[in-house]
A = this chain, B = another copy of it.
Amino acid sequence: MKTYSIALVPGDGIGPAVTDAAWQVVETVARGSGFVVEGARLPWSCDHYLETGAMMPDDGIAVLREHDAILLGAVGWPAKVPDSISLHGLLLPIRKAFRQYANIRPHRLLPGVEGPLRKSEFDILCVRENTEGEYSGAGGRVHQGSEDEVAVETAIFTRKGVERILRFGFEQARRRRGKLASVTKSNAQRHSMVFWDEVARDLAREYADVEVTSYHIDAIAARMVMAPETLDVVVASNLFGDVLTDLGAAIQGGLGFAASANLNPDRTTPSMFEPVHGSAPDIAHLGVANPIAAIWSGAMMLDHLGQTDAADRVMGAIETVTARGIGTIPGKHKTDEITRAVLAALD
């Protein structure tokens, strides 16, 4: 029987609870669909850092590389460990080491979910560049602590990096409604963003069947709120994609519903699947974290592994559950109740 080996990194705060939920669903649907998933639980987290001095062991990347995919909960617990250590010691190095350059995040309202907008008809797929750009980490500070201090932060864009993410965006648009929004701020950032626009313009010739529109980040942020129904695939840099996907999460009812995949489309290394939400340490002990974003991320993992029927079954179960009003209102149902409802709906 086809067997997949999955690295489970539950992480911090509500991470373990939602990872457990997603994993139960993935295991159950696998059993019913004739394939096997084997999970290797890796306890890498802020507590792990406090015990060992590192968020993951030295051979962490090598360990992960042996798996077919990574299912991650959430990382970070600022009161215990600064983000500069926790995120830069686990989440961000994994994205970069495995060249998971396409961070994709679907934004639509699940049935039964009331979003903050009056409008409810939209279906957006954000494609975020995940390895370079504004989060390259380049920069520094001089005259630190003095009144003359200057800090610089350099965004680095490579043609290879920009081209591959745009190409991925065009491909997604082809498989959906044929529309691509390319996001820059080329009227104010004249080096990196003019470059992005040029690469997009060149690729547009190759994808003449895709209708591509260039938006400035400020304008498209407003558009996501005013006219989200006009957007299909949105492709953006690391920072712009980060902002737009939290906005996407907001219009779909909140972070409890926002799933994501960190993909290496070349499939030479494992991809990673995680809810967009953070570790929410303040509510971790309440047992009310919404597992739907994590379960949806699990469905994206199944899809990536080629188990599309199983992925569809999971999405169907999620929609059955939310349509019945379970998991749609923050805090109303416990994590366990929502998970049990999804498991029951799989039958």
Contact = CB atoms under 8 A, between A and B. Distances in A.
Interface of A: 76, 83-84, 87-88, 92, 116-119, 134-135, 137-141, 146-160, 185-196, 217-219, 221-223, 225-226, 238-239, 242-243, 245-247, 249-251, 254-255
7 contacts: A92-B188, A135-B189, A147-B160, A151-B195, A151-B196, A153-B157, A222-B247
B222 A221 contact: no
A154 B186 CA distance: 14
B153 A189 contact: yes
Contacts of A187: 76, 83-84, 87
Contact of A159 (B148, B156, B222): B148
User: What copy number does this chain have within its complex?
Assistant: 2
B242 A243 contact: no
A153 B193 contact: yes
A180 B205 CA distance: 47
B153 A154 contact: yes
Nearest to A114: B118
A159 B193 CA distance: 26
Given A222-B249, A222-B250, A152 B157 contact: yes
B153 A159 contact: no
Given A119-B116, A222-B249, A246-B219, A195 B84 contact: no
Nearest to A220: B246
A192 B139 contact: yes
Contacts of A137: 190
A138 B118 CA distance: 41
Contact of A154 (B146, B154, B246): B154
